[in-house]
Amino acid sequence: IALAVSLVINVFIVAVFAHGMYNKTNKDVKNVCEINHNQHSDIFPNNTELVDVDIFKGGVFLGCQFGILAMYIWAIGILAAGQSSTMTGCYAGQFCMEGFLNLTWTRWKRVLFTRAVAIVPTFFVAFYNNMADLSGMNDMLNAIMSLQLPFATIPTIAFTSNPHIMGEFVNGWLNKLISILLSLLVIGINVFFVVDSVLRSMTDNYILLIGLGLYSIIYLSMCLYLMLHMIMSMGGCKSIANSSPVVSSEVSDKVGRQNCVHVEEPTTNSELSVKYFGNKFSSNFQLETDTAFLSRHVPKYTVNNEFDNAKL
């Protein structure tokens, strides 16, 4: 329900801005503000250039078009969005420190540290610069978050498509297809606009363009690694393993170990053969019965780091 309401609100916002500011000049918007006696009309230059919109100018336009109350409602909404984003960052930092880094902090220390990292730079930018610089920093942060999107969506699809993690709640083929297509669409749009914005602002600085090119190579390589992880979580291990020895030895061993183990039908009642990327390992088990036992327990097998045995 919350996401549906958020979608409707965002569609309305985009529609209002598109109707009122698309293909409009600074003079056009300035005239609207002056007609409605808005005190912030001077932020729009009196020229015929197309208006360059940011969050601050968008709020002023709402005040010019729909009254001063709309501008303050927009400001409260932006403040609430920032608060929500910061709280989400606090929770993400908590899980990372306690899970991945095996660190445990008290709540007030964690909140103080994460809020300081988020607020202190913003405070200095706001104190020593003007609103245009603050809006520019916000646009830059949005661009950075757009580039970080693959590092959230691709692992999410991979984890929810892995039967060893999700069990009976694993994604079906339709969910996988829709998730991949939507992710590719959103990631492609974001990357296009980020690249277009960067190229328009750095056309004469070749050093920055070279640095951007090197960063793009690293960025695309990491995205490719995540995509291989996702494919392996969906059960595409055999095709990846046969692609090249490097991919088979490096990516496969480190990423999709459990999901890439294939359990064969046992030749006897006490032998279970396990194939891992074409290498066959055998271990002896004292099985209770026959296929009924396997159907209940085989999905729960594990393979140790030396790949020399398997255990149910």
What digits encode the pLDDT tens for the residues 240-255?
555 555 555 555 554 4
What span, in angstroms and rounded, lies between the C-alpha atoms of 163 and 176? 13
Q: What percent of the chain has pLDDT over 70?
A: 71
Q: Is the pLDDT of residue 270 over 60?
A: no
Q: What pLDDT is recorded for position 122?
A: 72
Q: Compare 213 and 252 and report the one with higher pLDDT.
A: 213
Query: How confident is the model at residue 311, as a pLDDT?
Result: 42
Q: Report, as an integer, the average pLDDT of 256-280.
A: 45
Task: Identify the pLDDT of residue 11.
Answer: 92
Confidence (pLDDT) at 279: 40
Confidence check: pLDDT of 214 > 50? yes
Distance CA 202, CA 5 (A): 38
Give the per-residue pLDDT at 215.
Answer: 83
CA angle 134, 139, 55 (to 5 degrees): 70
Considering Cα of 178, then 181, then 184, then 189, what sign does the dihedral take?
negative
Indicate yes or no: pTM above 0.85.
no
Cβ burial 128-160 (10 Å sphere, 16+ → b, else e) = eeeeeebbeebeeeebeebbeebeebbeebbbb
Segment 58-91, tens digit of pLDDT: 889 998 888 889 889 999 988 888 778 777 777 7
Mean of the per-residue pLDDT values for the chain? 73
